[in-house]
Amino acid sequence: MTREISQGRKLNLGQSNSAEPVVMIRCRECGKLNEEDSRFCQECGKNL
């Protein structure tokens, strides 16, 4: 029983990771890809 539960969790985690949409914003200054909700570039600190 416990084995089945742990396997199910692993499968669910894998699916959520692959299906999760990732939106990135490219910095105009340095070209660094930052997460959509980022206000400043992680590389150079410029406003996105």
Binding residues (CB under 5 A) for Zn ion: these are: 27, 29-30, 32, 41, 43-44
Q: In whole angstroms, how close is the CB of 7 to Zn ion at the nearest point?
A: 42
Q: In whole angstroms, how close is the CB of 1 to Zn ion at the nearest point?
A: 51
Cα–Cα distance list, 21 to 3, 5, 18, 35, 36 (Å): 30, 26, 8, 11, 11
Residue 38 DSSP SS3: coil
Q: In whole angstroms, how close is the CB of 25 to Zn ion at the nearest point?
A: 10
**Which C-beta is closer to Zn ion: that of 2 or that of 47?**
47
